[in-house]
Amino acid sequence: MNPIGAEEKTLDWRVETVEVTSSTNDLVSARARAGEAGGLVIRAISQTKGRGRRGRSWFSPHGSGLYFSILFRTGGEAENSPLLTLLLGVAAAEGLTEATGLRVGLKWPNDLRVNGKKIGGILCEYLEPPNQPPAIVAGLGVNLTTREADFPLELLASASSVLLSGGEVPDAEGLLDLLLARVAFWYKEYESSGFEPVRDQWLRLCDNLGEMVSVRVADEALIGKNNGIDEAGRLLLEKPGGSIERITSGEVELT
């Protein structure tokens, strides 16, 4: 498999900040279609229509989190988008652990968690604009100072923030710099050594490895043991009879 960004041997971050936007992924996608080079980073103080996976909204209240998107120009393989999601998870978990003092774990495919509750997430979207190199737009959101009263009722049981988790709340700008440094490290590691080092670190950081999980795939719930991920980033689900199912896209619902 070709590297995530085959033609980009270095990452040149160009950070822009906006006060309010619908979605940083939308802003970066528009710039990608207009011919922007890889390395663009747009941060928003708040989002009015932040997005998560499977059409979900991402709660982005003003000034209480870090919300940003990165533009990567790719080698043309849409299948690299899942690998980039996992790479970004490793980078973000490491950076957040360093900045907050919390043990930040990973849940396949894109959740950043503390004590089983989600404090952040990643959304990668593949683009193939006309007359432009293919691109992946990667959005990251982290709840920093969000309080229980700020969350919608439907999120209270599953969501948290650095503040609620008892961690040291970092400055958002400083945290952005730290996360981009970790992304650059793992991106270059992937370019030089492939996905295996990323996979090994992802497995170390996964917070429900070896546990029984329920995975929602389309309209079906599959039950089994989380055996980690394979070389293509697919979830390895050990079913009750011992067979292994490789899941490309799904939602881990119970941990």
The string of pLDDT tens digits covering residues 49-106 is 666 554 555 566 777 899 999 999 976 565 578 999 999 999 999 999 999 999 999 9
What confidence tens digit (pLDDT) does each residue in 9-61 have?
457 899 999 999 989 999 999 999 999 999 999 999 988 866 655 455 556 67
> Does residue 215 contact residue 249 with C-beta atoms inside 8 Å?
no
Provide mean pLDDT across the span 215-244: 94
130/173 Cα distance (integer angstroms): 34
Among 8-22, 163-177, 224-238, the range scoring the smallest mean pLDDT is 8-22
242/173 Cα distance (integer angstroms): 47
Instruction: State the Rg of the chain over Cα.
Output: 17
Percent of the chain residues past pLDDT 70, beyond the cut: 88
Work out the pLDDT band at 5, boundaries 50, 70, 90. very low
Beta bridge partners, 118, equal 113, 159
Work out the pLDDT band at 1, boundaries 50, 70, 90. very low
Q: Where are the beta strands (DSSP E) in 96-167?
A: 105-107, 111-114, 117-127, 135-143
pLDDT of residue 186: 96
List domains and CATH numbers for the chain: 14-204 (3.30.930.10), 208-254 (2.30.30.100)
C-alpha count within 13 angstroms, C-beta hemisphere, residue 236:
15
> Does residue 144 contact residue 163 with C-beta atoms inside 8 Å?
yes
pLDDT of residue 3: 47
Provide mean pLDDT across the span 187-193: 93
Pairing of strands 105-107, 212-217: unpaired
Percent of the chain residues past pLDDT 90, beyond the cut: 73
Work out the pLDDT band at 175, boundaries 50, 70, 90. very high
The sign of the torsion formed by the CA atoms of 170, 174, 176, 180 equals negative
